[in-house]
Amino acid sequence: MTTSSGPQARPHRSLGTIDAAAIGAGAMLGAGVFSVFAPAAVGAGAWLPVAIAIAGFVAYCNAVSSARLAARHPEWGGAYVYGTERLGELWGFLAGWAFVVGKIASCAAMALTFAHYALPGWERPAAVAAVVVMVALNFRGIRRSTFVVKVLVLLVLGVLAVSVVAMLMSGRLAAVAEVDGLGPWPGSFGLLGSAALIFFAFAGYARVATLGAEVREPRTTIPRAINLSLATVLVVYMVVGTGLLIVLGRERLITSEAPLVDAVLVSGQPALVPVMVAGAAVASLGALLSLLLGISRTTAAMASDGHLPRRLGIVHERSGVPHRAETAVGAVVIVLILFGDLTSAIAFSAFGVLVYYTITNASALRLGPDENRPPLVAPLGGLVGCVVLVCSLPLPVIGLGVLVLGAGAGLWWVRDRMSHRPG
């Protein structure tokens, strides 16, 4: 089957390596770095750096598989395209379905995080307003959106650097003994469940693959952009996460609602609190912008193939943006903001992302020797890692995720039967 080949799916190839890497880094350096370490520390405790390393390893394996597949399939859709071409229509559909529903939940989490920091007490109205503004910005075209993403990434990196300097000046980073070593073994599910939550914060490099039809020289640009964005974010997460664990201590980190704010307070730098708040807001908006870019394009690819209403696949003639898919995604995100919960949104997003990458790695295993296939350790390690992490999430999240995937498979089966009906 040829995916996304219709006239609706012909965007402009305008992105270079730095542009694409900025989109990936902007998605990863979002609300996660400002909020994920506290709930992750609940399960991992003082083993938090180990959980970060596990999530980083699985993310790297997925990045290698994604890069090789994206180079062979430089078009919208990511694993939706890979799964369809390499494994069959059902697996491709499930990959796209998992990506869309998981990342829509992530959009809600990003918007709510922005609102929590920027306008406490008005979280839901502020989150809705953020989604509306980001959708409108994307309507202006990807070049302008990418410029904004690059600015946001630089600002967030600056804020995180300030927080690290403040923690260093506190002198507490030298007192590593206060962490009590690695502490008691948190259990396999505690450690791996924490790694699954942290992986949610790593998953932004998928945005580079889903923008494959919009980059120049995708065979070289996509792998470089993925590796550059992932390596940068891995270092940032390890430094910030370990610093928070040491400066705040295990118990305070677990109970913190704003770890970076608490860290600068403990460091004796209360004047930096507004900087941390602004950084969290900027990071959330940058991630929200990148997420909406990727989700709308996967939705458009699925619509062009008839798996979703075809009108969602229409691309605007001047901007090259799938504006109807963008609007539909934004509307669903707003519904989740109005009725959903931040913690459950993060966990469910992690479930969807891990399923998506499971299919990605399975697809990479089907690459032939003449297709620049990755070393076996990458897709195999990514496949096993994703399955293990998704099974370590809380049981209610797994149950809901299975139900949603089952509903998607049911929709695909009905469509398939109707398309083969005589007459």
Per-residue pLDDT tens digits for 192-223: 999 999 998 887 766 666 565 566 776 677 77
pLDDT of amino acid 301: 74
Q: What is the pTM of this model?
A: 0.81
> Which residue ranges make up each domain of the chain?
17-411
Residues 6+ apart with CB under 8 A from 33: 156, 160, 201, 236, 237, 240, 283
pLDDT of amino acid 53: 92
pLDDT of amino acid 9: 43
Residues 6+ apart with CB under 8 A from 63: 205, 226, 227, 230
Torsion 372-7-332-400 (CA) sign: negative
Per-residue pLDDT of the chain (423 residues; tens, 9 = 90+): 444 444 444 445 557 777 777 777 776 887 788 888 988 888 888 889 999 999 999 998 998 888 788 777 776 667 778 888 899 888 988 988 898 888 888 898 888 888 877 887 788 899 999 999 988 887 776 554 567 767 878 888 899 999 999 998 887 766 554 445 566 778 888 899 999 999 988 877 666 665 655 667 766 777 778 788 888 888 999 999 999 988 888 888 888 878 898 899 998 899 999 999 899 888 888 778 878 877 887 777 777 767 677 777 777 666 567 778 888 888 999 998 998 777 788 888 889 999 999 999 999 999 888 877 888 899 999 999 999 999 999 899 999 999 999 998 888 888 777 766 654
174/37 Cα distance (integer angstroms): 20
pLDDT of amino acid 10: 47
With CA atoms as reference, report the closest residue to 79 among 380, 67, 399: 67
pLDDT of amino acid 307: 66
184/180 Cα distance (integer angstroms): 9
Look up the CATH architecture of domain 17-411: Up-down Bundle (1.20)
Cβ contact 172:248 at 8 Å: no
With CA atoms as reference, report the closest residue to 101 among 299, 385, 338, 287: 299
Tell me the one-letter amino acid at 406. Answer: G
